[in-house]
Amino acid sequence: DFLTREVGLDGTRMTVSVFREDDEAYDLWHKTMGIPASRVVRFDEKDNFWSMGATGPCGPCSEILYDQGEGVGCGRPGCAVGCDCDRFLEIWNLVFMQYNQDESGTRTPLPKPSIDTGMGLERLAGVAQGVTSNYDTDLFRPILDGISRQCGVPVGKSPALDAAMRVVADHARATAFLIADGIVPSNEGRGYVLRRIMRRALRHGKKLGFDGPFLHKVAGTVVEEFREAYPGLAQSASFVDTVAFQEERRFLETLDAGLRMVEEEFSRMSGSAKVFPGEVAFRLYDTYGFPADLTADLCRERGVTLDSAGFEKEMEKQRAQSRVSWKGGEIGAQDAVAGELSRAGISVDFVGYERMESDARVVAIFRRGARVASAVSGEEAELVTDVTPFYGESGGQAGDTGDVQGEGFPLRVQDTRRMSADQVIHRVKV
């Protein structure tokens, strides 16, 4: 009823599938709902039995499939539901979660069976709007048009440029929603997922001719398009813009140099067995902030295999090494600083995504890993404040430099290092 009455889909173009042995589901569709037997099909476990994996909850499922027409399919006379072509599109799936499967494959009934329903919003929008690509729906078209206006490349100019636009549109949408939910780019957890998404979008932006920051503007288009349905997104518009701009500004400073390094490595390859060295991929990550999956994308486009094992080996070596102090100081100085901050319960509030300057209070001073009461003119020291707008070096991104103005004493921040999620240290010259 929802699909035919509310969404307005043509019921005669829909077919439902059920698990071959599930007579109850068959009867509900055919006898209770009145769907002709010709549009209720039975499939085996491969197609109509869902599980989480080798173990866990599982059960038979029933799918609703929509016929997009002969023009979308394979063109074979025998094309029907179950064909591997795109003609019959799954738009809904009902999983009758009634078993738990153990490692031996034995299935036992769940004490509380349930129905797990999944509906593809973008697929449904495409079917309802009569288009065969999610990117042609009104969910994406305004974003793509905005990108086209920004870069001056019309949609449809070439498959390669269209693919780049679609990556940017999809990733800008994810960027806007993630930042609005309070996630900011970092090298840990959800923040690193966001950073990887943004950096992949920036790399595809290069294909479209973008040289400077642009992703924050695309994210702004996302906010405008979705603000009515997602009021929280509109309320976070300024925050989304600032965070996105700051992140892309930092990465764009190293992106060109990293891409040149990749091209140089490609030019050195010869023969059919082309493997991109893991140690070079790690250097790209450590020096230029290239996530491994970004380097893997570049390799795939050139028919090159990334030595992932070599990359992981270099990463593990880095994790195993003790941190060293800045610019040639003694081994372990940074560990000593981090340990002292943790023992003292000192944390730093990073506000660099909201503003470029802030008032702050000095909470600790260090020299060569040891906490000191003060530093005199001409000395270098590590300064810790309760609040900072300075971005700390992390994952190949250079730390911010700048100035600190105290009461009668100016300090030059030569470098900034992020020790952990809430520990930021400024290297200063007194």
Report pLDDT for 324.
47
Q: Which residues pair with 417 in a beta bridge?
A: 393, 425
In a domain, 107, yes or no: yes
Instruction: Based on the fold, state whether residues 231 and 205 are members of the same structural domain.
Output: yes
Instruction: Based on the fold, state whether residues 402 and 365 are members of the same structural domain.
Output: yes
Instruction: Based on the fold, state whether residues 115 and 6 are members of the same structural domain.
Output: yes
Q: Which residues form the domain of 366? A: 326-429
In a domain, 312, yes or no: no
8 A C-beta contact, residue 251 and residue 199: yes
Instruction: Based on the fold, state whether residues 185 and 218 are members of the same structural domain.
Output: yes
Pairing of strands 402-405, 362-367: unpaired
In a domain, 346, yes or no: yes
Instruction: Based on the fold, state whether residues 175 and 215 are members of the same structural domain.
Output: yes
8 A C-beta contact, residue 169 and residue 147: yes
In a domain, 273, yes or no: no
Instruction: Based on the fold, state whether residues 370 and 420 are members of the same structural domain.
Output: yes
Residues 6+ away with beta carbon under 8 Å from 57: 51, 97, 99, 100, 101, 110
Domain boundary residue, one of 59, 94, 128 = 128
In a domain, 290, yes or no: no
Instruction: Based on the fold, state whether residues 115 and 163 are members of the same structural domain.
Output: no
Report pLDDT for 299.
94
To the question of pTM greater than 0.85 for the whole model, the response is no
CA 46 to chain centre: 30
Round to whole Å and give the CA distance between 389 and 399: 11
In a domain, 302, yes or no: no
Instruction: Based on the fold, state whether residues 11 and 97 are members of the same structural domain.
Output: yes
Identify the CATH number of the domain in which residue 342 sits: 2.40.30.130
8 A C-beta contact, residue 165 and residue 148: yes
8 A C-beta contact, residue 331 and residue 369: no
3-state secondary structure of 333: helix
Nearest to 117 by CA among 132, 97, 101: 97
Nearest to 242 by CA among 222, 203, 213: 213
Edge to edge, the sheet with strand 370-372 lists 370-372, 362-367, 380-385, 423-429, 410-420, 402-405
Round to whole Å and give the CA distance between 144 and 111: 48
Identify the CATH number of the domain in which residue 85 sits: 3.30.930.10
Nearest to 15 by CA among 26, 23, 2: 26
- pLDDT (tens, 9 = 90+) of the chain, 430 residues, equals 899 999 999 999 999 999 999 999 999 999 999 999 999 999 999 999 999 888 999 999 999 999 999 989 898 988 999 998 999 999 999 999 999 999 999 999 999 999 999 998 899 999 999 999 999 999 999 999 999 999 999 999 999 999 999 999 999 999 999 999 988 888 778 888 999 999 999 999 999 999 999 999 999 999 999 999 999 999 999 999 999 998 998 888 888 889 999 999 999 887 666 899 999 999 998 888 888 989 999 999 999 999 999 999 998 887 665 344 444 454 456 667 777 787 878 889 998 888 888 899 999 888 877 788 887 777 788 899 999 999 888 766 678 888 888 776 778 888 888 877 788 999 888 7
Instruction: Based on the fold, state whether residues 195 and 85 are members of the same structural domain.
Output: no
Instruction: Based on the fold, state whether residues 223 and 260 are members of the same structural domain.
Output: yes
Counted domains in the chain = 3
Instruction: Based on the fold, state whether residues 101 and 177 are members of the same structural domain.
Output: no
- Give the helix/strand (H/E) hosting 428: strand 423-429
> Is the four-CA dihedral 41, 42, 46, 49 of positive or negative sign?
positive
In a domain, 73, yes or no: yes
Instruction: Based on the fold, state whether residues 111 and 148 are members of the same structural domain.
Output: no
In a domain, 311, yes or no: no
Q: What is the dihedral of CA 373, 376, 380, 385, to 10 degrees?
A: 50
Report pLDDT for 11.
93
Nearest to 188 by CA among 307, 322, 335, 291: 291
Round to whole Å and give the CA distance between 175 and 173: 5
Domain boundary residue, one of 222, 237, 268 = 268
Domain boundary residue, one of 268, 284, 313 = 268
